[in-house]
Structure 1
Amino acid sequence: MSADYPTVLELVGATPIVRLDSLGAEVEPTLLAKLEYLKPGGSVKDRIGLPLIEAAERDGKLRPGGTIVEPTSGNTGVGLAIGAAIRGYRCIFVMPDKMSQEKIALLRAYGAEVVICPTAVPHDSPESYYSVSDRLAEEIPGAYKPDQYSNMAN
């Protein structure tokens, strides 16, 4: 089952599903496993990046040449980075310092810039990754913050 896809975005959303016959033989319902780890970013959050970007484009919040600024602990950031790379947007992710180097490297591999902030500060501290992302979104011309933590589309 090989196919050519024009961009990695075509791989998001069509997640393979496998029937688990050997594990579910003794139960009545069919057991299925959704293989999200096979998606480009390795997470179910791959599928949220593009819709958040498209909604911002439709609403005029994100325009060509714009920058996506988002606080993230990783997976939603990866989904946004994939969409931004394909659509040509600059991405800046603000992350707590407890995140793995692998997650940071993955975001950078998709072209994102990563700003690291201390974890051991109050949520409302100017140093928190929430506050830093707010400041960057205000300071950078053409910046858009999807605000995954309060965005109902997430």
Structure 2
Amino acid sequence: PIKKLDVIGEKKGSNIWVKLENLNPSGSLKDRIALQIIEDAEKNGDLKKGFSIVESSSGNTAIALSFVGGLKEYRRIIFLPEIVAQEKIRMIERYGAETRIVKTGEELKDSSVHGSFIEVPGRIMCKEMEEKESSVWWARQFSNPSNYKAHMKLGEEILAQMKNKINVFVASVGTGGTLFGVAKILKQNIPDVKIFAVEPAEASHVSLTNFKIIPGVTGGILKEILDSKLVDEVIKITDKDA
């Protein structure tokens, strides 16, 4: 569903709507990408019965892959940075996935580190595991086109619910899938719509304003966003404001 924020909107003199993606089965919009990524891989023959799904995630994608992958009876191995909250780890394990905690180093323990960068050490482990074992499939949410493909469907939902009356779309940026997928659809249908990306002000690593490529483990969708020039402005939010 989509909900109008009457009180905040009145204070700001604007009509503000939010998409309630927290009402998805495992609690976030990441259910969309988990289902799309897994089913596309099955159709392509990359993911087969008896395979293990591996992924590096700082939370919601891990939960969603654990949930969807469990329904499809795959073994799931999730690499999590050591700063992840214990309740998220417990939720992942309740869905039957295996968790492996990855030491991140002191520089990555900052609460404002970019979500996509905190997952890099785990991505390296996923890459190594996939290269060594033929029955291991790495979901690669950071670069998998199925990620933003799922969110293009979300964009179509938003368009229908808002009857094509949208001036501005705002989304936070992790892997960039939500922003990229929705923005592609909105710009195709409403060329004048403004797209705003939100990220931590103190993030000093991979982001839309401070971009670094590590072959095989960064880039992906974030680079596609930069190349597409779909984003009109990047908004940086401080820890204090957050």
Q: Which TM-score band applies after superposition, normalised by the shorter structure?
A: 0.7 to 0.9
| 2:41 alignment partner in structure 1 | 56
Instruction: Choose 130-139 or 56-65, whichever is displaced more.
Output: 130-139
Residue 127 (structure 2) pairs with residue 134 (structure 1): yes
SS at structure 2 position matched to 1:153: helix
Displacement of 1:140 after TM fit?
3.6
TM-score (norm 2): 0.50
Which of these residues, 81, 84, 106, is aligned with residue 69 of structure 2?
Answer: 84
Which of these residues, 96, 104, 121, is aligned with residue 81 of structure 2?
Answer: 96
C-alpha separation in 2, matches of 1:90 and 1:134: 17
Residue 138 (structure 2) pairs with residue 145 (structure 1): yes
CA RMSD of superposed structures (Å): 2.6
TM-score (norm 1): 0.76
Displacement of 1:18 after TM fit?
2.1
Q: Which amino acid aligns with 2:144?
A: N
C-alpha separation in 2, matches of 1:62 and 1:121: 36
* Percent identity over paired residues: 38
The number of equivalent residue pairs is 136
Q: Which amino acid aligns with 2:22?
A: Y
Gaps of 5+ in 1: 1-15, 123-127
| 2:96 alignment partner in structure 1 | 111
Instruction: Choose 87-96 or 131-140, whichever is displaced more.
Output: 131-140
Q: Could you say if the C-alpha distance between residues 27 and 96 of structure 1 is closer, same or farther in structure 2, counting changes exceeding 3 Å?
A: closer
Displacement of 1:138 after TM fit?
2.9
Structure with the bigger percentage of helix: 2
C-alpha separation in 2, matches of 1:120 and 1:38: 34
Q: Could you say if the C-alpha distance between residues 108 and 28 of structure 1 is closer, same or farther in structure 2, counting changes exceeding 3 Å?
A: same
C-alpha separation in 1, matches of 2:76 and 2:129: 11
